[in-house]
Amino acid sequence: MSTKFPEIQGGGSLILAWQIKGKEVLVVAAGRIVNLLNADAKVTVVCPRNGLNEEVAYRVNNGQVKHVDRVFLPVDLEPEKKVAMVLTAIDDPDASTRIWKYCKQMKVPANIADVPSECDFYFGSVHRDGPLQIMVSTNGNGPRLAAAIRRQIGQMLPEGTGDSVKRVGQLRRKLRKVASGKTSRDISKRMAWMSEVCDKWSTDDFNDMDDEDMDKLVRYYESGEVPSFEEIRLGSRDHVVWEFDGTFGWM
């Protein structure tokens, strides 16, 4: 029986953007450190120094991550250390499983590399352009294929998409200053108006928008109207003075 609601497709995973900024992340051996640092996490690597690869050693030596020069011990997950997640990538399956079981006991989410049954979360293939992040996940079925799909998606996006996202963020912050109501009705109205702006304006429009354009645009908020970018630049059509410079020609 068909309905207006989407069909349930089991077997997927809940894809989230985890706000890990400023939180402690424990990495046993090496892996995913760049992703964590890009998300402003506080990273501690637990691994004998001779087990560090070139990049991790570089980041340790430059103070980008903390380093504990030994194997993992239960003390690494003591509550006062406030570890938000654990990532492991070691060649000892038994040791990995022991770490995973201890994480479960301490209720700390863990990712045990290449062992899906011992992962509370997965990493996908990510396209990054400034604030824009697009993750592709195959739920463990084909990581290499996920990377290929991610590249295809990135190539399809208009040039400057990341910059457009930045401008939209600036516009939202400016709108919240102008319309600072906090009731559910206020929030719904702001979201609806911003959605209409994003539907009506193109990537190029947002890229070309400057602070003066933003100020002009948010003035339309109370009326609920969403002008085009051309109307913002030229002003209301009732007030535009159209000049003829002879370049159009006549039939």
* CATH number of the domain where residue 142 is located: 3.30.160
Looking up tokens 């929030």 gives 187
Listed range (27-31, 84-88, 225-229) with the worst mean pLDDT: 27-31
Same domain, 96 and 39: yes
Give a yes or no: residue 78 inside a domain. yes
Residue 218, in any domain of the structure: yes
3-state secondary structure of 66: strand
pLDDT for residue 31? 66
pLDDT value for 236? 52
Contacts (Cβ under 8 Å, ≥6 apart) of 243 = none
Do 118 and 129 share a structural domain?
A: no
- 193: which residues sit within 8 A by CB, 6+ positions away? 175, 221, 224, 226
Do 68 and 116 reside in the same domain of the chain? yes
pLDDT for 42 beyond 90: yes
* Judgement on whether residues 176 and 128 belong to the same structural domain of the protein: no
- If asked whether residues 186 and 203 sit together in one domain, one would say yes
Q: What domain range includes position 55?
A: 24-123
**171 and 149 in a common domain:** no
* Residues 50-58, mean pLDDT to the nearest whole number: 89
| Whether 179 and 222 share a structural domain | yes
Rounded Cα distance between 101 and 83, Å, is 15
> Does residue 239 sit within a domain?
no
CB atoms < 10 A from the CB of 47, how many? 23
Number of H helices, E strands in the chain: 9, 7
| 86 close to 110: Cβ distance less than 8 angstroms | yes
State the Cα–Cα distance between residues 130 and 134, nearest whole angstrom.
11
- Co-location of 140 and 168 in the same domain: no
Please, which pLDDT band fits residue 240 given cuts at 50, 70 and 90?
Answer: very low
Identify the pLDDT of residue 2.
61
Question: How many structural domains compose the chain?
Answer: 3
Q: Are residues 99 and 189 in the same domain?
A: no
101 and 184 fall within a common domain: no
The answer to whether 30 and 9 have CB atoms below 8 angstroms apart is: no
CATH assignment of the domain containing 56: 3.40.50.720
Instruction: Given the residues 40, 69, 92, 114, select the one marked as catalytic.
Output: 114
Residues 118, 128, single domain; the answer is no
Clarify whether residues 113 and 130 are in a common domain. no
pTM of the model: 0.73
Please say which residue of 74, 107, 123 terminates a domain: 123
114 catalytic? Reply is: yes
